[in-house]
Structure 1
Amino acid sequence: MSRSVSRGVVALLLSCALLLTTGACGGGDDKTSASAAEAPTASASFEQQKLAKTRFVANAGLAAGATYQWIVKPYRAGKFKKGADGRTFALVKAGLAGAFTYNRLKAAVNNAKGDPLLSKAVAPLSAGIESLKDLGTKLRKGEAGDADVGAFENIINSVKDAGKSAGAEVVDKVPSASQLGGG
């Protein structure tokens, strides 16, 4: 088998395996938030709000890092164009990053609910985040264009701005390959 075909097969198998595990990302946040929110003490309430901001910053930072590293940067470098060297692998990574970004943004919105100021700042962004749901697949198939990549960038910037306005500044953090794959 030629080298490019074997790379394509490996990339396809890897992306299928990683996509199957991506749905499991962030499931623990909801249960932890729900059980901690039931605690009636004032100190537990304060700690929950503090942790909510911290989790929001972590999840939004990972989403921003993945978007920039594996979607925006390769797109601007022309890696998604037909005939580009490494196009298939770049598209697979972009598809995985898109699914990862959507997952982390949903988790960040859930984390924001634990802080009154942050929840008000992030609430208007829920519809925009929902619109990203199918863009990961579109990227992976090579069907994404300027508007799609711009949508990722705009949503990430809006989340960062909302966090900053609520006192939770988001900094890009590029996730590791195991984080991107849901491990």
Structure 2
Amino acid sequence: MKRSTLALVTPMLAATLALSGCGGGTTGSGTTPTTSTTGGTTAGATPGGSASTVAAPAVTCPTESTRSFAKTRFLADVGLAAGTFHRWIYKPYQEGKFTKGADGRTLALAKAVGVAALDVKLLNNAYENVQADPTLCKTIGEPLGKLKNQVNTMKDQITHGDLSSVAGAEVILGSLLGTAKQNGLPVTETTDESTAKL
């Protein structure tokens, strides 16, 4: 992990070290997703066979742009969120690094908590930029809202040692990246936080 990224997550390490032995208990996310204008939900199956379902927020699109460089900011924020999610959350999850007894589990969980918090911030920024642009809002608003809610839920759950929403976040992220690419917005994944304005 780069020194600057580690600096972002260091304040959360102590809390995570205390919580990392919690096992797989579930806890509420602390957020209440808003019902989508289409009422759709997305479910991601986890290895244990359970599903993680998050509703899309209601999306109200503007009639004209209200922020400069919304597209550029969106691409930077989502690129960093996707890159850090895959590097420090999804890859270790697939490799079993978060499993009880796994070598380096405590540090892996600490990094995952810090990165999840960073990704929540990045996706909130991206969502604000999308809502400031009529075209982005209509094409990306709903899937980005679903991802934002899912990652927020995931962050809260990982903090308590529950990884059940990680697979769901990967499914929704993949859907968002596909939708963005189809609409001429190819996202370049990165772990270099200098690419995004936090």
Q: Return the match for 2:187 from 170, 173, 181.
A: 170
Could you report, residue by residue, the CA deviation over 1:59-95 in whole angstroms, capped at 9, with x for unpaired residues?
A: 0001101110011111111100000111011011111
Moved over 6 A (4+): none
Distance of 1:107 and 1:13 partners within structure 2: 22
Q: Comparing 79-88 with 115-124, which one deviates more in the overlay?
A: 115-124
> Any conservation in 2 of the 1:91–1:141 contact (CA below 8 Å)?
no
Distance of 2:97 and 2:192 partners within structure 1: 20
Q: Return the match for 1:159 from 136, 156, 176.
A: 176
Q: Return the match for 1:95 from 113, 119, 122.
A: 113
Q: Return the match for 2:160 from 141, 153, 161.
A: 141
Distance of aligned partners of 1:17 and 1:162 in 2 relative to their CA distance in 1, 3 Å threshold: farther
Distance of 1:102 and 1:154 partners within structure 2: 16
Please name the residue that 2:94 is paired with.
Answer: 76
Q: Work out the percentage of aligned pairs sharing the same amino acid.
A: 34
Could you report, residue by residue, the CA deviation over 1:135-161 in whole angstroms, capped at 9, with x for unpaired residues?
A: 11322332213xx11122122222212
Please name the residue that 1:64 is paired with.
Answer: 82
> Any conservation in 1 of the 2:150–2:169 contact (CA below 8 Å)?
no
Match for 2:123: what amino acid?
A: L
RMSD: 3.1
Distance of 1:17 and 1:80 partners within structure 2: 17
Please name the residue that 2:127 is paired with.
Answer: 109
Following superposition, the deviation at residue 17 of structure 1 comes to 8.2
Distance of 1:63 and 1:111 partners within structure 2: 15
Distance of 2:79 and 2:15 partners within structure 1: 20
Structure 2 unaligned residues grouped into runs of 5+: 1-8, 17-64
What secondary structure sits across from 1:106 in the alignment? helix
What secondary structure sits across from 1:104 in the alignment? helix
Structure 1 unaligned residues grouped into runs of 5+: 1-11, 20-35, 38-44
Match for 1:124: what amino acid?
A: E
Match for 1:152: what amino acid?
A: A
Distance of 2:78 and 2:176 partners within structure 1: 7
Distance of 1:117 and 1:144 partners within structure 2: 34
Match for 1:170: what amino acid?
A: V
Could you report, residue by residue, the CA deviation over 1:84-130 in whole angstroms, capped at 9, with x for unpaired residues?
A: 11101101111111121122112112112233222111222214422
Please name the residue that 1:24 is paired with.
Answer: none
